Structures are given as C-alpha cells and as structure tokens.
C-alpha cells in the first residue's frame, strides 16, 4: 500500500505541474500533503520529516554547490560583456571563405560559449540574436540555420565546465555511495565533479566534430543552402592578430577553469571563483563593464541561484516522503524485473528521462529523478561516470526534440517572424539523429567517457 502511495504522489506532481505552478513549490507542497495523508492513514513514519533539517543543513554545507552561483555569475558577465559577439565576428572572418563557413563559425562559438557559460537558455538566446539574422541575410536556409543555433546552444549541457555536470556530479556521487552501502561496502569509493568533467570532454568534443561534419557535408550537397561568403579579408594586415585577440582571452579563461579542476589543482568551487574573477577582468578589459551591467548580472545570478536551491529543497522533501512510502523499494522491484537486466533498466530510465525533459528542466530531473533511480542502476554495476554522461547527453537530446524542447522555445522567442516554427523543428531533426547516434556509440563504447578520468586520476 505504501509503495502505491509513492506512485500516486509521483503522478500528482506531474498533474499539478500542468497548472504552471512553480516546480519547487509543487514538489514540496505535494510531498507535505501526501505525508499528512499518510500520517492520518498510519502508513507514513513522521521520522522521515524529522530528517529534513539535517538534509537541508547538508545542502547548506555542501561546498561543491557553492560553484553554482559562481559559474552562473561567470556566464552572465560574459554574456553581458558581448564576448560572444566578438567571438562570432572573429570566427566568421576566419571561416568566411569556406562554403558553410558561417555555420561552422556558429558551432565553434557555441562550443566556446557553452564552455564559458554553461547555461543553455542564455547561449541559445545569445546565438539566436547575434547569428540568425546574419545567417539569413547571407542566404542560409532558415531551417538549417535554426538547427545549427539550437544544437550548438545546447552544448552547455555536456561541454565542461557545465552547471548541469556540477549538479549531476554531486547527485551521482551521493547515489554511488548509497548504492555501495546497500551492497554492503562500508568504505565506499566516491566520484567528483572533476571526474564528470573529464568524462564529458571526449564525448563533448566528438559531438562537436559530428556537427561540423554534418554542416560540411550539407554545404557540399546543398551549396545554395549554406553559401560561401562573397569576399575574404584574410589578406588584410593584422587579420590573424585580430582573430587571436578575440579568441585568446575566453580560451585562457576556459583553460584556467577547466584545467585547474581536471588537473586537481583546484576544486570546482575554487575554479568557479577563478572563472568569475576572470570574467570580470575580461569585461573590464573590453570596456563593457558598467555599474548597471554589474548590478543586473548580480541580480540575475541571485534569481537563478535561488531557483536552483529552492528546487533542491523541494526535491529533498519530496525524496524523503517518497522513501517514507517505500517508493525506493518499488523502483528497485520495477527495474529489477525488467527484461534485459541492467541495460534494459537503463533503457527504460533513459526513455522516461527523455520524455520528462519535455516538461521538466534539467535541474528538476537531476534533483528528483536521479536520486531515485541512480542508486538502483549503480547497484546493478553501471559505471557512475558513464551513467552521468549518458544522462547529460540524453537530456541535451530531449531539449532539442520537437514539439516541447526547451531550446526550440528559446529560439522561437528571439527568431524573426519570417522564420516559422516548422522550420525550427525541421532544422533540429538531423542534430537529434546525430545526438542519438552518439548516445548509441557511448552505450557501446563506455570507454569514451571513462578513459580520460581513469588516465588522469588513476
């Protein structure tokens, strides 16, 4: 009976979410109502609610999560300082003489912005505002242009240092320890956000290369859809120096942040602080930092961080009540009885997460779904780093998929009226196929995600 209450609570959350009520309050409110109902029916132990203060205190003392506001601040400052604009101009000049060169430039800038900001919505909107009008003016096919922007904008899901990977790394680490304790291992191993960053590098770079190959092939097959620039200015004096000046500062920032984490020189929180200071220095050096911009960036950072931690608190309460109704045992039974063993269980979990990505942001899925299914999958013997990268790639694919993908809504909000929603949907379809192909490759070759962390951290 208790496990069925957990299932009803889970369904109630999604029904209430359709009303448009904030996710954090839906999670906590639904959990409290079911807890009170369970107390009345004598099917719920109040000790689970008594554990909430300790759970929240643990969240407050989690040093890894301090990296979230710092990375958000770094991304917002870089966005306000028009770093993406200067990068796009430099890349467009560098690849402008190639057929489809502007599409290649947008993809590379999207990758660099993903590594700089880690915020999917901000990257898609920024790239949509900056590059879409230019691509259309140069004769690019609207559908292909929209697909390139949406796909490159969602690279912030998988390219480190990504906020998704920071949050996912903390949750996966907890789930991994819990799985080992349930297996009778009382000196559990752990993984860090740095492990996940290292694991995401090879799949992330491979995904970008697959994008670039697709754009190049399309430029060869359909030259009218991705035309060549009419002129090149490479012969101008100081051309490459100008390109270097645009590329070097953000590249140094990315390398300092990512390199310090992967190299073990700094924790994610310390590296995020370095990134925040570095972003400020870049903004000052580019003469783009003013007091109103700084105030707006701090206000935006506070809003995003508050949203993340409110959802985390709501998810913590939901998780406690879910376990109080023996929902975790229900999940174990459901996944254990599936055909195909651990890979059948993984396929169903990934499918459910993919569908949930239509209605929930990555933060809700990370905080609500992963703590429930993560320990079960990891107890079956799946590698935690590989599982984390698979989840991140899966959510990235979900955010691109029509008709509910978040990236599509972000671009629709800033695209010109001449660009139809159908063209946006059509443009992202090849990139969805590419991401599904990479998911399949990663599922067949887990070493793509585990090789680098093993090499670095032995």
Domain boundaries, the chain: 24-32+43-457
The confidence score (pLDDT) of residue 3 equals 58
pLDDT digits 0-9 by tens, 354-381:
887 776 777 778 888 888 888 888 888 8
Whole-number pLDDT of residue 458: 64
Predicted confidence at residue 275, as pLDDT, reads 86
Which residue in this structure is represented by tokens 């998911």? 439
Radius of gyration of the chain (CA): 23
Distances in whole angstroms, Cα of residue 275 to Cα of each of 64, 258, 396: 15, 9, 24
Compare 160 and 33 and report the one with higher pLDDT. 33
Q: How confident is the model at residue 25 (pLDDT cuts 50, 70, 90)?
A: confident
DSSP single-letter state for residue 183:
T
Taking the CA atoms of 149, 151, 157 and 160 in sequence, report the sign of the dihedral they define: negative
**43-65 confidence digits (pLDDT tens):** 888 888 888 888 888 878 877 77
pLDDT band of residue 385 (cuts 50, 70, 90) is very high
Most confident of 71-85, 210-224, 313-327: 210-224
Q: What is the largest CA-CA distance in the chain?
A: 81
Query: What's the whole-number mean pLDDT along residues 64-70?
Result: 82
Long-range contacts of 305-311, Cβ-Cβ distance < 8 Å, separation of 24 or more = 305/68, 305/69, 305/72, 307/24, 307/363, 308/68, 308/167, 308/363, 309/59, 309/65, 309/68, 310/22, 310/24, 310/25, 311/23, 311/24, 311/27, 311/363, 311/364, 311/367
Write down the mean pLDDT value for the chain: 83
Burial (CB < 10 A; 0-12, 13-18, 19+), residue 337, is exposed
Residue of 73, 82, 123 whose CA lies nearest to 283? 82
Q: Give residue-wise pLDDT tens across range 228-255.
A: 765 555 556 667 787 787 788 878 887 8
- When mean pLDDT is compared across 23-32, 100-109, 177-186, 369-378, the lowest value belongs to 177-186
d(CA 387, CA 141): 37
Cis peptide bond prior to 403, omega within 30° of 0: yes
CA 201 to chain centre: 14
CA 37 to chain centre: 36
25 three-class SS: helix
In the block, residue with structure tokens 């979230």: 68
Residue 226 has pLDDT above 60, yes or no: yes
The pLDDT value given to residue 215: 93
Q: Which of 160-164, 284-288, 430-434 has maximum average pLDDT?
A: 430-434
Q: Nearest Cα to 437, choosing from 448, 426, 427?
A: 448
Give yes or no for residue 86 having a pLDDT over 70. yes
Output the pLDDT for position 417.
Answer: 83
Measured from the Cβ of residue 314, the count of other Cβ atoms closer than 10 Å reads 24
Q: Are 408 and 428 in contact (CB under 8 A)?
A: yes
- Chain segment 312-348, per-residue pLDDT in tens: 888 888 888 888 887 777 777 778 777 877 888 888 8
Give the pTM: 0.82
Q: What is the pLDDT of residue 397?
A: 86
Q: From its phi and psi, is residue 415 left (phi > 0), alpha (psi between -120 and 50) or beta?
A: beta
Degrees to nearest 5, angle at CA 178 with 374 and 54 = 110
| pLDDT > 90? residue 2 | no
Q: For 161-187, what is each residue's pLDDT tens digit?
A: 777 888 888 889 888 888 888 777 777
Distances in Å between the Cα of 28 and the Cα atoms of 3, 145, 316 are 19, 41, 8
The two three-digit tokens of residue 384, written as one number: 């935690």
- Per-residue pLDDT at 205: 92
The tokens for 103 are: 């599409």
Query: Measured between alpha carbons, how far is residue 364 from residues 13, 49, 58, 105 in Å?
Result: 12, 21, 19, 33
Given this model, what pLDDT does residue 83 score? 75
**Per-residue model confidence (pLDDT) at position 120:** 61
> pLDDT per residue over 114-143, tens digit each?
766 666 666 787 788 888 888 888 888 999
Cα(61)–Cα(407) distance, integer angstroms: 33
- Which pLDDT band holds residue 441 (cuts at 50, 70, 90)? very high
Q: How confident is the model at residue 430 (pLDDT cuts 50, 70, 90)?
A: very high
């Amino acid at each position: 009976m208790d496990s069925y209450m957990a299932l009803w609570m889970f369904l109630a959350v999604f029904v209430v979410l359709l009303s448009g009520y904030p996710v954090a309050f839906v999670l906590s409110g639904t959990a409290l109502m079911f807890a009170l109902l369970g107390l009345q029916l004598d099917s719920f132990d109040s000790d689970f609610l008594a554990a909430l203060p300790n759970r929240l205190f643990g969240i407050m003392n989690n040093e890894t999560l301090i990296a979230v506001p710092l990375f958000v601040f770094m991304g917002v400052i870089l966005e306000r300082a028009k770093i993406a604009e200067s990068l796009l101009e430099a890349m467009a000049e560098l690849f402008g003489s190639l057929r489809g060169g502007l599409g290649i430039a947008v993809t590379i800038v999207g990758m660099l912005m993903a590594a700089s900001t880690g915020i999917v919505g901000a990257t898609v909107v920024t790239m949509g505002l900056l590059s879409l009008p230019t691509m259309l003016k140069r004769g690019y096919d609207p559908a292909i242009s929209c697909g390139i922007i949406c796909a490159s904008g969602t690279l912030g899901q998988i390219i480190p240092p990504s906020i998704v990977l920071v949050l996912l790394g903390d949750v996966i680490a907890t789930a991994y320890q819990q799985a080992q304790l349930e297996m009778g291992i009382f000196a559990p191993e752990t993984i860090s956000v740095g492990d996940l960053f290292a694991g995401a590098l090879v799949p992330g770079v491979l995904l970008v290369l697959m994008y670039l190959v697709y754009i190049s092939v399309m430029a060869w097959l359909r030259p009218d859809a991705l035309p060549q620039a009419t002129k090149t200015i490479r012969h101008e004096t100081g051309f490459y120096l100008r390109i270097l000046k645009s590329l070097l500062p953000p590249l140094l920032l990315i390398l300092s942040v990512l390199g310090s984490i992967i190299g073990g020189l700094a924790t994610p929180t310390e590296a995020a602080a370095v990134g925040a200071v570095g972003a400020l220095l870049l903004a000052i050096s580019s003469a783009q930092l003013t007091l109103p911009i700084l105030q707006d960036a701090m206000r935006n950072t506070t809003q995003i961080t508050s949203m993340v931690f409110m959802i985390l608190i709501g998810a913590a309460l939901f998780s406690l009540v879910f376990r109080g109704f023996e929902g975790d045992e229900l999940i174990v039974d459901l996944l254990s009885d599936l055909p195909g063993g651990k890979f059948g269980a993984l396929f169903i979990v990934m499918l459910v997460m993919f569908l949930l990505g239509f209605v929930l942001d990555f933060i809700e899925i990370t905080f609500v779904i992963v703590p429930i299914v993560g320990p079960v999958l990891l107890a079956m013997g799946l590698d935690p780093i590989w599982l984390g990268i698979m989840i991140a790639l899966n959510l990235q694919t979900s955010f691109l998929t029509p008709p509910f993908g978040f990236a599509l809504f972000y671009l629709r909000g800033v695209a010109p009226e001449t660009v139809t929603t159908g063209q946006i949907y059509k443009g992202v379809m090849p990139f969805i196929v590419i991401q599904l192909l990479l998911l399949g490759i990663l599922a067949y070759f887990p070493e793509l995600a585990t090789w680098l962390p093993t090499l670095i951290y032995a």
